[in-house]
Structure 1
Amino acid sequence: MDISESPLAEAGRRFFSPENAKTWIGLLRPGYHLREQQAGEPLVAYLGGEPMLPGDAEWPVWEGHGPLSFVAAFDCEEVPPGQLDIPLPEAGMLLFFYFNGVGEDAVQYLDPESIRGGTRVIYVPETSDDVAPRKTPEGLEPFPRVMLTGELIATAPDNENAALVAAFGDPSGDPAADDDYTEYPTVGDADGDGFYDALTTFRRDHSPHHRVGGHSLPKAGSVEKEAAHAMFPGDDAAAKQARRELLKDLVMLIQIDSDARAAMEWGDTGRLYWLIRRQDLEAREFDKATFTWQSE
């Protein structure tokens, strides 16, 4: 896929100055959009149902709360190698679990203890033995199975994305600051309506927004900054510096949207996001992945 030929790049060329359009296109990142599989299309991922696990793998449990719900899995071998800008495994399956509790038992936005216990990423290498469907633990209702295929798309940074703020925001500001925000640099476009219409149309055409890699699509503020808070909470100088450094390395592994077909409703039409340091992904240290979720 040539990002420079994507609808998002074309929107930049149409509504930004030539210099800003070039910068904008440089900020776009490839993502792998997961959509419902049609006849004759390859199976890339699936939502819900019974996960495929090795015989010696235990179903993930949050101690003191209960078993996690299986959310999604995708086949790394089906994602075109070298087409994403994150170092995914070339083969094997990645499975994602989430404690779908309510009230005090729900996974919280920025509670590190909850994130460590209430979510899990399991990597099943292609060499694993005795891999078979695993029955959902008693008392836990599985989500309905939805089969997904995929396609490469361009993805855009949101208004609070540190790279976007650094490119188009106040030069004296801190792009990593929690509340730093910048408008897209439209020109000759009243209130940016034409650009936002193009952005909205592109996003509508790729909904639900299940995605591997690329920029996250937030519901309520920067996903990356929320995830950085989960890893380095606190308002002291050391925590802020740690988050600033982390944002340079943190990449989105997968986002799972609310999806009526799978009876998945994360808050009010919310999304789940798993993120990881680039070097941890390359080392296959998926236990170091972090998580956040957002809803409107």
Structure 2
Amino acid sequence: MEWIVAQRHRLRSLFGSFFGPEVVTAVLELARPALRLTAARAAPLTGTRLGGDPVLPAGADWPSWAGRPLDFLGVIDFAELAAVLRLPELPAAGSAAFYYAAGTPRPWGDDPAQRDGWRVVVGGGLERTGSAAGPVLPLSAEPFLSLPAPQEPVLARLEADYAGVLPVYEQLYAAWAQFVWPDEPMHQVGGWPALVLPPMTEDDRSPLLQLDSDERLGWHWGDPGRIFFRIRENEPVDHAWLTLQAR
């Protein structure tokens, strides 16, 4: 995988300009592979997209929360993404449709009573529902190395081991984010989440799908604002928990 060699080299050069070898090695050990979902410029993914025609298993009822129909966010084809980069924390096959109560008031995922405010729908076959489609964003998937946000507990531990690292890391993290995401919302599968606020509770859930605010799709979670679907190891995809972070 030439991309990972090139990105590790770039990270080593970036952080090596400010830190000694011990810190650089520690940072590189934290880097996690992920997939950047970006607007397709050519040869879009065929089974993975954001927006567009809603899909559900045949005969399934439209998901709702407190009497409100949920909004269709998109569909992910895990086999299609695994062909680009196999992420061990994600399924290697199957598809899932993502729904969320996007209007206000909306669930933040900080209350178990909100559990029906989102849905990850899987099935033997997801079919178009015939409901009105919203804007659609065809996607390409690009692998990259994600870094933990400065708010993550692992950075507090790094600062404890190497005093004075964190303020510089914050600037280098921002530079790396600009390199990875130069001009698009931060839609992502796997890897470290691009946090907006202090970290989500450490509940052993791994990032499944991160969706940013996106004017192209009419999504406004905050300024900035992102939603994160997360799952535990060996947990079914439809058990994913959602967290909204917004300012």
What SS class does the counterpart of residue 165 from structure 1 fall into? helix
Q: Aligned letter for 1:54?
A: P
Partner of residue 17, structure 2: 14
TM-aligned CA distance change 1:111 to 1:213, over 3 Å: same
Cα displacement (A) at 1:30? 0.5
Cα displacement (A) at 1:101? 2.6
CA distance in 2 between partners of 1:97 and 1:200 (Å): 27
**2:147 matches 1:146:** no
Aligned 8 A contact 1:46 1:145 in 2: yes
**2:73 matches 1:96:** no
Cα displacement (A) at 1:49? 1.9
Counting matched residue pairs gives 243
CA distance in 2 between partners of 1:192 and 1:107 (Å): 32
Aligned 8 A contact 1:51 1:134 in 2: yes
Aligned 8 A contact 2:53 2:133 in 1: yes
Q: Deviations over 1:179-238 (max 9, x none)?
A: xxx96457xxxx56863563253244263100000000011221x32xx5xxxxxxxxxx
Aligned 8 A contact 2:84 2:143 in 1: no
TM-aligned CA distance change 1:107 to 1:13, over 3 Å: same
CA distance in 2 between partners of 1:203 and 1:86 (Å): 21
**2:237 matches 1:286:** yes
Q: Aligned letter for 1:293?
A: L
**2:159 matches 1:169:** yes
Partner of residue 6, structure 2: 5
Q: Deviations over 1:41-100 (max 9, x none)?
A: 4335211122232213222112x3321101121111111359444332222212111012
Any stretches of 5+ residues in structure 1 without a counterpart? 172-181, 229-245
Partner of residue 214, structure 1: 191
Aligned 8 A contact 1:27 1:164 in 2: no
**2:207 matches 1:252:** yes
Partner of residue 119, structure 2: 120
RMSD: 2.6
Cα displacement (A) at 1:156? 0.5
Using structure 1 for the length normalisation, give the TM-score.
Answer: 0.73
Using structure 2 for the length normalisation, give the TM-score.
Answer: 0.86
CA distance in 2 between partners of 1:41 and 1:145 (Å): 12
CA distance in 2 between partners of 1:165 and 1:100 (Å): 33
Q: Aligned letter for 1:86?
A: P
Q: Percent identity?
A: 29
Any stretches of 5+ residues in structure 2 without a counterpart? none
Partner of residue 86, structure 1: 88
Aligned 8 A contact 2:148 2:192 in 1: yes
CA distance in 1 between partners of 2:113 and 2:209 (Å): 21
What SS class does the counterpart of residue 266 from structure 1 fall into? coil
CA distance in 1 between partners of 2:34 and 2:214 (Å): 19
Greater C-alpha radius of gyration: 1
What SS class does the counterpart of residue 70 from structure 1 fall into? strand
Alignment of 1:197-236 (within 5 A): 198-205=175-182, 207-222=184-199, 224-225=200-201, 228=202
Partner of residue 37, structure 2: 34
TM-aligned CA distance change 1:288 to 1:183, over 3 Å: farther
Bigger proportion of residues as strand: 2
